Amino acid sequence: MKVSIVAAVAQNGIIGINNSLPWHLPEDLAFFKQTTLGRPVLMGRKTYESINRPLPGRLNVVLSSNTHWKPAPAKDGTPRSVITHPATLPEGNSTQIATATSLPDALKWLSSFEQVFLIGGSHLYQQALEQNLVDELILTEIHQSFEGDARFPQWNRELFREVERIANTATPERAWGFDFVKYAKVDN
């Protein structure tokens, strides 16, 4: 199973503020959807709560140390059902929520999938990088600094090499540009 980090990162390392994104960047939301659709996405509980609904067309696995954690009901009040580790998982493209209480448990649980995307936040990125679990980073590198309270962790760039960079220049509506960049783990 390939483990890919997906994150949008400001020039100063910021990824979030007040449990939301510091910028409005529809191109990045579209890129994120195109990248992750049909595959499982793994996220921390705060990131799930910032989205506050399962991402459609993806199995949403939420990490929380609280075994009683439940997602908020849908807008019409319908409770959202949750699959808890270690039940059998549905397809990666099913719009469902699953929960696990540890990163190793979650990854073991997801091991039959070809690829899993770690979609944040900083706590989850940090653990995965520190524990050397990441095969690929797919970063949106924003050429602007932002204020925030969540940041992308320091990572060892020597363990990865840049394999793709798609540049997006500034526009009259957007004063800064950004790049979609892929870093692949270097084989030892």
Ligand X SMILES: NC(=O)c1ccc[n+]([C@@H]2O[C@H](COP(=O)([O-])OP(=O)(O)OC[C@H]3O[C@@H](n4cnc5c(N)ncnc54)[C@H](OP(=O)(O)O)[C@@H]3O)[C@@H](O)[C@H]2O)c1
**Residues contacting residue 107 through CB under 8 Å, at least 6 positions apart:** 1, 3, 42, 116, 133
Alpha-carbon gap, residue 56 to 29, rounded angstroms: 13
Q: Answer whether 166's CB lies under 8 Å from 28's CB.
A: no
Q: Pick one of 44, 54, 71, 92: the residue that binds ligand X (CB under 6 A).
A: 44
**46 vs 58, beta carbon nearer ligand X:** 46
List the interface residues with ligand X, window 77-136 (CB under 6 A): 101-103, 119-124, 127
User: Which residue, 23 or 160, is less far from ligand X as judged by CB?
Assistant: 23
Among 42, 107, 137, 150, binds ligand X (CB under 6 A): 150
Question: Can you tell me whether residue 21 is helix, strand or coil?
Answer: coil
Q: Examine residue 71 and tell whether it contacts ligand X (CB under 6 A).
A: no
DSSP secondary structure letters along 131-158: TT--SEEEEEEESS----SEEPPP--GG
Binding segment (CB under 6 A) for ligand X, from list 34-42, 63-71, 161-169, 179-187: 63-71
Pairing of strands 2-10, 136-142: parallel
Count of residues making up the chain: 188
Q: Which is nearer to ligand X, 1 or 91 (CB)?
A: 1
Q: Contact positions toward ligand X, by CB under 6 A? A: 7-8, 15-16, 19-21, 43-47, 50, 63-66, 69, 101-103, 119-124, 127, 150
